A and B are shown apart, each in its own frame.
Chain A
Amino acid sequence: MSETLTMAFSPPNTAALSFDALYRDAAGDVHAYAWALLRDRAAAEDVTALAFERAYRRRTRFRPERGSARAWLFAIARNAALDELRRRKRTAALTFDPAAEPEPADQSGPGLQPERRATVRAALEALDPRERELVALKFHAGLSNAEIGELLEISESNAGTKVHRAVTKLRKACA
């Protein structure tokens, strides 16, 4: 199943929870989201594993009427990531270590020029941690504004405003 971890983003699954399908669908995205928050590969792996284990243990408590399985999973992953941040007493911004920069992404995909990659990385680093989380929830988790609002306990329009502000900032930095 490891090859499924690199699957491209797929739309949220709103059907009744099928843990195996959820895992195949969202494992790579959860890892990317955790990495975006923690900026630490090992920690991201720990959080990913912990999030799926918690989701597995609590799978009977999932209620489809309260949101998609994907949003539910990312809520668990977010709590795990924030707990990890608290445990390590450092924020995402502080954890950035140039020596621990991520490996170059797979060049077989759409691929980016190294300069472009560096620009995007710098733009992401320039974002506020909360803005960076919003970008991760949007780009990696693929949550809708309503789901982000539900996750952050803010209104949908407020979530849209915050996402738009973060994305606009990112676009300007990447321009």
Chain B
Amino acid sequence: MNRHHDPTDRLDPAAVADLAELEAALAGEATDARWAALVVAVRDEAPAPATGFARALDDRVAAGFPRARPAWLRLPARAMLPALAVACSLLVGGVVVGTGALDGTGSTPDQTGGDAAMSAPSSGEASSGASGGAASSAETAPAPPTAGAASQRDLAGRGPAPAAVPPAAPGSPPLGSAPGPVAREVERTATLGGAPGPVARKVERTATLGLTTDAKGLQDAANGLVRATQDLGGVVASSQVDSTPSGGDATFVLRIPTARVDDALKRFAELAGVARLSEGAQDITGSFVSAQDRLSDARAERKALLAALGKASTPRSIASLRARIRGNRTEIARLEGDLRGLRRRADFTRVDVSVRARGAAEDPDAGSAWGPGDAARDALRVLEVLAGVALVAGAVLLPLALLGWGAALAGRGLRRRRREAALGGG
């Protein structure tokens, strides 16, 4: 079945002449009457189309071969009503379910907010004894018998306000709003656990600050942190700066006077971008009072021991009293140390600061305004993504297309062979 011309497959001259005569006869220009007669005979052999068929086909051609409507479209409207009702019910049900799901999703933040709102009073309760800025009744409320009320607050101010901190004004920024929630210590008069006299409430504050800057800004930020800490009367407890050409990291443990933590955080925030801020507070008044009581007892005991020593007459009792006085002195020194430690914890806030410098390859936009270069990079990135998507799609679709093309070719060949076989003789 080679359709291309084969040079060896040539008609002989006699056949060419016969075919020329045939073509002439078919065109009504026969020179040989036998060919003309054959043409007429063969053509007359075929019957003419029936008149009815011809007319019907004329009509269909004139109408443009209208398509028959699908069976379901030919159904009367009444028969389709149940199906329409079912479809509408399913649609309405789907909308209701979908809306309910959306409501459920949308209510989550509310619920979260509700929880947060509900937790606020708890936090307030926890810190009510310490919140000097709260209602006046709280002024006389007894402090918790034990220290340890703690709270955490993140950058956005979510979470309960730190304990022992007056509630922040609504909408106040998380940083630099002095005298905001980080009014460290509230002097309150309260009788704590039978302690003699008024005791200042002691609250230990902590803060964790995450800063980000560009690769060149790491050292400046580190220097600024140290300078600001010193300016505010704080100390750098430890520091670690790891600088690389593409960026680096630095970590600092700072002790900032609690009364100036707000200023410190505000100044730190000006050094680099704030990625994270977390603040905590723990009431250590109980521990402080306990240590103070024990110190008072120890001092009273020392006074009694000294008095007893003055009255002792035997060498044995004198030696025993001196030994007890030595032990008492040691205990007093230890308790005084504890008390100083607790006071230091209340007077100085530990601030953990981490600075991360992102390289240009990591974040080319850090610290700069969006400009034409950024637009070009974004456009390139979009093109890269599109190319990636096209590549993946091509990797999937190309084999499928090849398979489909092969299947179509095979199907076409098979269909042709079957059609030819219908004529008989394969």
Question: Which residues of A does B touch, CB under 8 Å?
Answer: 1-2, 5-6, 9, 11, 19-20, 23, 27-28, 31-32, 35-37, 41, 45, 48-49, 52-53, 56-57, 79, 82-83, 85-86, 91-93, 102-103, 105-106, 109-112, 116-117, 120-121, 124, 128-130, 133, 135, 138-140, 142, 144-145, 149-150, 152-158, 160-161, 163-164, 167-168, 170-171, 174
B374 on interface, CB distance cutoff 8 Å: no
Whether A155 pairs with B11 at a CB distance below 8 angstroms is no
Of B55-63, B108-116, B205-213, B399-407, the segment with at least 4 beta carbons within 8 Å of chain A is B55-63
Whether B44 pairs with A158 at a CB distance below 8 angstroms is no
Q: Given the complex, which residues of A lie within 8 Å of B43, measured CB to CB?
A: 9, 32, 139-140
B54 on interface, CB distance cutoff 8 Å: yes
Q: Given the complex, which residues of B lie within 8 Å of A2, measured CB to CB?
A: 51, 54-55, 58
Q: Given the complex, which residues of A lie within 8 Å of B46, measured CB to CB?
A: 31-32, 35-36, 102, 105, 140
CB distance from A161 to the nearest CB of B (A): 6
Whether A153 pairs with B42 at a CB distance below 8 angstroms is no
Known: A48-B57, A56-B61. A105 touches B48 (CB 8 A): yes
Known: A139-B42, A161-B9. A27 touches B3 (CB 8 A): no
Contact of A86 among B41, B42, B422 (CB under 8 A): B422
Whether B423 pairs with A133 at a CB distance below 8 angstroms is yes
Whether B61 pairs with A23 at a CB distance below 8 angstroms is yes
Q: Given the complex, which residues of B lie within 8 Å of A9, measured CB to CB?
A: 26, 43
CB distance from A75 to the nearest CB of B (A): 11
Known: A86-B419, A91-B422, A91-B423. A27 touches B57 (CB 8 A): yes
B418 on interface, CB distance cutoff 8 Å: yes
Q: Given the complex, which residues of A lie within 8 Å of B19, measured CB to CB?
A: 145, 160, 163-164, 167
8 A Cβ contacts from B20-47 to A = 22-23, 26-27, 34, 38-47
Known: A2-B58, A82-B422, A111-B44. 14 other contacts (CB 8 A): A1-B61, A2-B51, A2-B54, A19-B61, A27-B57, A36-B46, A56-B61, A82-B423, A83-B419, A91-B424, A93-B424, A121-B45, A139-B42, A149-B3
Whether B54 pairs with A164 at a CB distance below 8 angstroms is no
A-B residue pairs in contact (CB < 8 Å), sample of 21: A5-B54, A27-B54, A28-B48, A28-B49, A36-B46, A45-B49, A48-B53, A52-B61, A86-B418, A86-B421, A103-B47, A111-B44, A120-B45, A138-B22, A145-B19, A154-B2, A155-B2, A155-B5, A155-B6, A161-B9, A161-B11
CB distance from B45 to the nearest CB of A (A): 6
Whether A82 pairs with B18 at a CB distance below 8 angstroms is no
Q: Given the complex, which residues of A lie within 8 Å of B42, measured CB to CB?
A: 120, 124, 135, 139, 170
Known: A9-B26, A82-B423, A91-B422. A124 touches B40 (CB 8 A): no
Q: Given the complex, which residues of A lie within 8 Å of B65, measured CB to CB?
A: 52-53, 56-57
Whether A130 pairs with B423 at a CB distance below 8 angstroms is yes
Q: Given the complex, which residues of B lie within 8 Å of A91, measured CB to CB?
A: 422-424
Q: Given the complex, which residues of A lie within 8 Å of B18, measured CB to CB?
A: 164, 167-168
Q: Given the complex, which residues of B lie within 8 Å of A27, measured CB to CB?
A: 49, 54, 57
Q: Given the complex, which residues of A lie within 8 Å of B171, measured CB to CB?
A: none
Which residue of chain A has the shortest Cβ distance to B41 in the bound complex?
A120
Q: In whole angstroms, what is the CA distance A97 to B210 when docked?
A: 97
Contact of B9 among A102, A110, A157, A171 (CB under 8 A): A157
Whether B44 pairs with A5 at a CB distance below 8 angstroms is no
Whether B49 pairs with A124 at a CB distance below 8 angstroms is no
Chain B 413-426 interface mask (CB, 8 Å, partner A; 1/0):
00000111111110
Q: Given the complex, which residues of B lie within 8 Å of A32, measured CB to CB?
A: 43, 46-47
Whether A153 pairs with B3 at a CB distance below 8 angstroms is yes
Contact of A112 among B22, B44, B420 (CB under 8 A): B44
CB distance from B290 to the nearest CB of A (A): 97
Whether A48 pairs with B10 at a CB distance below 8 angstroms is no
Q: In whole angstroms, what is the CA distance A111 to B37 when docked?
A: 10
Q: In whole angstroms, what is the CA distance A129 to B421 when docked?
A: 11
Whether B423 pairs with A160 at a CB distance below 8 angstroms is no
Which residue of chain B has the shortest Cβ distance to A104 in the bound complex?
B47
Q: In whole angstroms, what is the CA distance A129 to B422 when docked?
A: 10
Q: Given the complex, which residues of B lie within 8 Å of A149, measured CB to CB?
A: 3
Q: Given the complex, which residues of A lie within 8 Å of B376, measured CB to CB?
A: none
When A and B form their complex, which 10 residue pairs have the shortest distance between CB atoms, in order from nearest?
A: A32-B46, A82-B419, A85-B422, A102-B47, A2-B54, A120-B41, A1-B58, A91-B424, A86-B422, A164-B15
CB distance from B39 to the nearest CB of A (A): 6
Q: Given the complex, which residues of B lie within 8 Å of A102, measured CB to CB?
A: 45-47
B85 on interface, CB distance cutoff 8 Å: no
Q: In whole angstroms, what is the CA distance A93 to B16 when docked?
A: 29
Q: In whole angstroms, what is the CA distance A101 to B155 when docked?
A: 98
B50 on interface, CB distance cutoff 8 Å: yes
Whether A160 pairs with B54 at a CB distance below 8 angstroms is no
Whether A116 pairs with B41 at a CB distance below 8 angstroms is yes
B69 on interface, CB distance cutoff 8 Å: no
